[in-house]
Amino acid sequence: PPKAKEVRIKILATGICRTDDHVIKGTMVAKYPVIVGHEATGIVESIGEGVTTVKPGDKVIPLFLPQCRECNACRNPDGNLCIESDVTGRGVLAEGTTRFTCKGKPVYHFMGTSTFTEYTVVNEFALAKIDAAAPPEKVCLIGCGFSTGYGAAIKTGKVTPGSTCAVFGLGGVGLSVIMGCKSAGASRIIGIDLNKNKFEKAMAVGATECISPKDFTKPISEVLSEMTGDNVGYSFEVIGRLDTMVDALASCHLNYGTSVVVGAPPSANMLTYNPMLLFTGRTWKGCVFGGWKTRDDVPKLVTDFMA
């Protein structure tokens, strides 16, 4: 059961995100044994002492990126990486212990959410109450993948109307970046992926054209420069590969371009790049959960989806 300031949730639907796979492959730090999953919709089953923001029966989205509303990141209007986030893989709740056991031994939490289970316990500050009518199997994706991609374009990249965007990686998050670019009014949105089977879906959600680097002998940054008359304003790396991060940076305009790193990078690797890529004026940005403040913004995103 939940302890003070904690909430137990019955999970109704959960998405599967590549980050869960990173834990299984060992490229992301976690304590084992662990229950992964961080993208879900559920119903509040019971609450611990002192919980005031939700009650049993409320429909909620657990938040792998909490919002305590008290730390520096939460108090800064541009911040969202709350100090309560379990990015180091502690595997326990704020109180310091786990709510899962198997045969008397502890089983650890993942990102404070652990949604691949029928019930989970989360801290009250890691929960967004949402519209009761929202379809669980759709809005669970607002708990990570959709919001991360959509926000990368709208909030972090701040894509402007009429601009040209290049999106590297056309998985679920990449498609959400395309939706964000379209929503922001971009006039050209170029999808880039080795797998051409992904092109149809990318075009359906807003890409204006798609290309595969396999079809060219020259670097993809040169291909994009020729295609656009050297005018890619925004590029997004939505794969998590070091080489494509540098490619995406090199692909946006050398003076006023912005490149956003959206894909989670492998934990043990260091990146080498030519600093001249930045010296000429480009902006290189990171992006956690699309820049959204989770408890404030997730309910609004669900409302927008419902509308």
- The answer to whether 238 and 262 are in contact (CB under 8 A) is yes
Q: Provide the β-strand partners of residue 8.
A: 46, 121
User: 143 pLDDT exceeds 90?
Assistant: yes
The pLDDT tens digits of the residues spanning 98-113 come to 999 999 999 999 999 9
The residue among 266 and 247 whose pLDDT is bigger is: 247
Kindly report the pTM of this predicted structure: 0.94
Name the band, by pLDDT with cuts 50, 70 and 90, for residue 188. Answer: very high
Q: Tell me the domains of the chain and their CATH numbers.
A: 6-145+291-306 (3.90.180.10), 157-286 (3.40.50.720)
Mean pLDDT of 135-151: 97
Secondary structure letter of residue 215 according to DSSP: G
User: 263 pLDDT exceeds 90?
Assistant: no
Name the band, by pLDDT with cuts 50, 70 and 90, for residue 169. Answer: very high
Bond before 136 cis per omega within 30 degrees: no
